[in-house]
Amino acid sequence: MVLGKSTKVVDISSIVKPAITIQIKNVNVLSEDCNYFIKNQSVIIENGVIINLGENLQLDSTATIIDGTNKYLIPGLIDSHVHLKKVKTIYFIFS
């Protein structure tokens, strides 16, 4: 007896997102201790995760390039500001 032989193989190509690489160049990055900005850095992000940070990183020709000149990057910052009182279904959330 072979278990799983009749299991249907599912095509996941429609639900798997392709890898996305973003490179932000010339951006000012907040230091780990939050005391200063590290100026003119390149940041490489793959699938939403920072994988490399430094000066003059080699740019990937397949990546989406963002010019961060005169911009600031604060890794890990999440904008969690919401106005739940304005949501009409709020009573269902806490019921």
* Model confidence pLDDT, tens digit, residues 24-56: 999 999 998 989 999 999 999 998 889 999 998
**Containing domain of residue 76, as a range?**
21-85
- Report yes or no on 4 lying in a domain: no
Domain count across the chain: 1
- Report yes or no on 6 lying in a domain: no
Q: Is 91 helix (H, G, I), strand (E, B) or coil?
A: helix
Question: Percentage of the chain with pLDDT > 70?
Answer: 79
Q: What is the pLDDT of residue 87?
A: 59
- Report yes or no on 11 lying in a domain: no
φ/ψ of 54, rounded to 5, equals 170, 180
- Report yes or no on 62 lying in a domain: yes
CATH number of domain containing 68: 2.30.40.10
